[in-house]
Amino acid sequence: MRLRQHPSPNFGPRRGGATPRFVVLHYTGMISAAAALARLCDPSAEVSAHYLIEAGGGVLQLVDERQRAWHAGAGQWRGQGDINSCSVGIELDNLGTHPFSDPQMQALEGLLPQIMARWDIPPENIIGHSDMAPGRKTDPGPRFDWARLERQGLAARRGRLRRPAGAAPDFVAAAAQAGFTCPCRFEDLLAATRLRFAPWRQGPLQPDDFIF
């Protein structure tokens, strides 16, 4: 993993003495890593992340992990709001429309264990932006290889929670048990859980949607 320092001015103190409990993964959604870097370091944009991983595998640190980067916005995970104050944000150079490169995934796989060890973050708290903000965000998107992280213990393995299939209220309760607690429309919640666990699935609620 090639780590370079490129400080962004867009950060502040973590509120209430919070420390990182989560890692939030994003795609940049921009034409290049250079364009994303310029935005993440532009004071007028008021956005940032702790790390940016280039498609070629280079890793740039923009904000010290002890500080609050501005990457998550409104949302919630496991009942916790103000995710910026209790998370580390990682941006991946990708438009969200194509697979993430192997060098990029290898760099992520090198970075994540270090962050998890420093802050005692469990695999269940490695999440996507869409997990904490259903309906508002879709990154890291359907092309992100969550199963690859799961096999290495770097994300929660699908199937650890199984609830009997039922109606929409039962699904909402099952999703909340898995961590999806952000208030949102049912359709957005279903879409967010599928982005994380089954991006190929379409249509109305199905029994397999109750497996998290």
Q: Could you give the residue numbers annotated as active site?
A: 91
CB atoms closer than 10 angstroms to residue 208: 11
Angle, in degrees to the nearest 10, between helices 186-197 and 168-178: 50
- Tell me how far CA of residue 66 lies from CA of 25, 44, 117, 119, 158, in angstroms: 18, 23, 14, 10, 30
Torsion sign across C-alpha atoms 77, 83, 67, 71:
positive
Rounded to 10 degrees, the C-alpha dihedral 142/145/150/153 comes to -130
For 212, the 3-state DSSP assignment is coil
Cα–Cα distance measured from residue 56 to residue 46, given in angstroms and rounded to the nearest whole number:
26
Task: Supply 48's token pair.
Answer: 């940032």
